[in-house]
Chains A and B, each alone.
Chain A
C-alpha cells in the first residue's frame, strides 16, 4: 500500500496538522490526534489524504479532524469529524457512512464474576439463540403496515412502548433514542423493504454482543455515578446499527447528491464525498431520512437489549430487578447532527459529521442526561474481542477542539484479507478460548477477519484521547464472552 508523503506538522505529542497549503481547495487545515508511533502506522495508508479531501467541503469550519483510531475509509476517513456551517455549508452522507447510527450501548449488572463464570457456555448459547445475528439475519419482530414509520419517527420509544425494555432506558440513550426531525416519507420504499424484516438483529461484520468484567477503575467517583462499582463486576455491551435500511438510505442519497453537485457548483476530489447544502431540498431530505435510520438503529439496540436481559436472567435463574441490567448509556458513532458550537468566539449552528467518532459532551451540557450532569456524558469505546474496552466521559476540551467528539473504537490495523492470511478462524477461536473468552460466531471466516491482531491496541488509542484531553478514562473492561454476527 502506498505511503502518504504529504506535509505533517507536529503540534505536540498528541496533535498533528496538515497545513491548508497542502492541496489547493482545502478550506481549513487538518488536525490528527495520534502519538508518534501511531502516526508511523497511519502514514502507511491513505487516511491522511482523506482528512485533506474532507477539508474541501463547502462551509467546513476550524479543522478537518481525525480521532486517534483514524484509518483508511471510503470518502471520509474512519475516525473523521467535520463540522459545516448550517447557513452556507453542506451535509455529506459519506460523512456519516452506510451504517447510519452504528453505535454501542453498555449495561451494568449487580453480579460479580463468580456468579456467572461457571455458566458462560449456557449464557452465550442463550444470548446467541435470543438475538438473531449474521449476514442477512432476519428478526423475530413482525412489523405491521405503518409500524415501521413509527419506528422511524419514535426509535427507542417505539420499542419500549411495545414491551422491549424499560422507560428508564430512554433517558440513558443519546437523543433519548428518538432523534427529532425524522421523516419516514424521505426513506425510500427499498430502504423500508430492507428494514421491515431486520429490526432486532445484530447483523455481521464488526457487530457484537459482549459479556465483560470490570478490569480497572480509574475514576471511582465518576464510575460510581454510572453504577460501575468494583473490579470483576459483570457488564454487557451491544454494538450494531441500522442494518439494510440505513445502508439503503445512504446509497440512495449519495446517488442523489452526486447528481445534485453540478447544480450547486460543487467539485470534490472523491465522488464518495458527494454532498449538498444543508439547507437545500436534497440536504434536508437526507437529514430527515438519516434521522429515521438513526431511530431505527436505536430501536434495534433497544429490542436486542430486551432479549439480552431475558436470556441473561433465564440462564442465571434470577429476576431482572435483582440482576440490575440498567442501561448506562448508548452512543451513536456514525451520525450527522445540527449542534451549536463556538467558532472564532461566536456561537454557530453547525452540521457536525461524526464518522467513526463518538460525541463526548462535558458535565453540565444540556444534552447530557440529568443523572450525569456532574460527570459528563459517558463515552463507550469498544476494543477488539480479545483485549479490552473503555468507558470514558466527555470534557470541556472536546467542546473547544473537536466539536465535542472523541474516538469510537480501536481502529483497524489489517485488512480483512490480511487478517485471514495471518490467522485462521479456528486459531482465533482457540486463542480466545485459551484466554477464558467464550465465543459464538456465525462464521469462522468472519472470526478471522475480526481477530484481535487485526486491530490497533485500544488502550493506546484511548490513551491518546485521554492525554490530549478530549475525553477522560473512567474504567476498563475485559471480555469473557463474545457473540460475533
Chain B
C-alpha cells in the first residue's frame, strides 16, 4: 500500500495519506510531512520522542499532530521518520516518534513547511485516508 501521495495546489502543497486504520494514516501523514522537508533515506532512528495530544475532534487532532511535529523540528532540528501509534482514539493520540538530529554533512533538507492548514482537510474514516494542505 502506498503510504502517501502529494497533491497539487498552486501556492502550497497537499498530501493524502493512507493506512489500514486511521492511526496508520496519521502516522503516514507525518512521514509524508518529513519526506517533503528532507531526504529521509539517510536519517537513522537514533532518538525518540513521545507525543501525547488531546483535541476536540479528528480534524483538530490532525491539524495539531502535524503542527506539533513542525514545532519539534523547528526547535530541536529533529528529523523524524518512524511514528508508532501507541494509542489512537480519533480525538487523542500517543505516539513514539523516531529519528535523529539534522546533520548537514549527511542529510539533505528540501522544502520548508510553515504549517498544516484546515483548508480542504479531509478525514475519510471509511477508507482510512486523510488529506491536508500544507503552507510551504
Which chain A residues have a beta carbon within 8 Å of chain B's beta carbons?
A: 1, 45, 47, 71-75, 78, 94, 97-99, 134-136, 138, 190, 193-194, 197-198, 203-205, 244, 247-248, 250-251, 254-255, 258-259, 270-272, 274, 412-418, 442-443, 445-446, 449, 485
Contact = CB atoms under 8 A, between A and B. Distances in A.
Q: Which of B9, B108, B114 has the most CB of A within 10 A?
A: B114
B1 interface: no
Interface in B82-136: 102, 108-112, 114-121, 133, 135-136
Contact of B10 (A71, A136, A138, A254): A71
Given A73-B11, A445-B111, 11 more contacts: A72-B9, A94-B118, A134-B112, A135-B38, A135-B109, A136-B77, A204-B111, A247-B70, A247-B115, A415-B13, A416-B111
A78 B10 CA distance: 10
A251 B8 contact: no
Interface residues of B, number: 38
Nearest to B134: A74
Contacts of A250: 115
Interface string B31-47: 00000011000000000
A416 B136 contact: yes
Given A251-B67, A254-B118, A136 B110 contact: no
25 contacts: A45-B10, A72-B11, A73-B119, A74-B133, A75-B118, A134-B109, A136-B74, A193-B71, A194-B71, A205-B112, A247-B115, A248-B67, A251-B67, A255-B60, A255-B63, A258-B60, A258-B118, A259-B60, A271-B119, A271-B121, A272-B118, A413-B10, A415-B9, A416-B13, A446-B110
B21 interface: no
A357 to B, nearest CB: 14
Nearest to B75: A193
A52 B26 CA distance: 32
Given A73-B11, A193-B75, A417-B8, A136 B102 contact: yes
B59 A99 contact: no
B110 A135 contact: yes
Contacts of B56: 258-259
Contact of A190 (B13, B71, B73, B109): B71
Interface string B51-69: 0000010011001100100
Contacts of B109: 134-136, 442-443
Nearest to B56: A259
A193 B9 CA distance: 30
A194 B75 contact: yes
B64 A417 contact: no
Contact of B118 (A271, A413, A418, A446): A271
A274 B118 contact: yes
A271 B62 CA distance: 13
Nearest to A196: B75
B115 to A, nearest CB: 4
A205 B114 CA distance: 9
A239 to B, nearest CB: 14
A244 B71 CA distance: 8
B135 A97 contact: yes
A449 B111 contact: yes
B102 to A, nearest CB: 7
A192 to B, nearest CB: 10
Contacts of B121: 271
Contacts of A449: 111
B119 A415 contact: no
Given A204-B112, A416-B111, A270 B118 contact: yes
Contacts of B111: 135, 204-205, 416, 445-446, 449
- Those 5 A-B pairs whose CB atoms lie nearest each other, nearest first: A74-B119, A204-B112, A271-B118, A272-B119, A135-B112
B12 A194 contact: no
Contacts of B77: 136, 138
B119 A75 contact: yes
Q: Which of A203, A251, A272, A274 has the most CB of B within 10 A?
A: A251
Contact of B6 (A135, A251, A417): A417
A333 to B, nearest CB: 13
Nearest to A71: B10
A415 B133 CA distance: 12
A138 B67 CA distance: 19
Contacts of A258: 56, 60, 118
Q: Which of A94, A416, A417 has the most CB of B within 10 A?
A: A416
Given A446-B110, A449-B111, A485-B112, A74 B12 contact: yes
Contact of B115 (A1, A45, A251): A251
A414 B59 CA distance: 28
Q: Which of B59, B112, B117 has the most CB of A within 10 A?
A: B112
A47 B112 CA distance: 23
A479 B7 CA distance: 32
A47 B59 CA distance: 23
Contacts of A254: 63, 118
B8 A415 contact: yes
B135 A98 contact: yes
A208 B108 CA distance: 20
Contacts of B12: 73-74, 416
Contacts of A45: 10
Contacts of B114: 98-99, 205, 247
A274 B59 CA distance: 13
A71 B8 CA distance: 13
Nearest to A1: B8
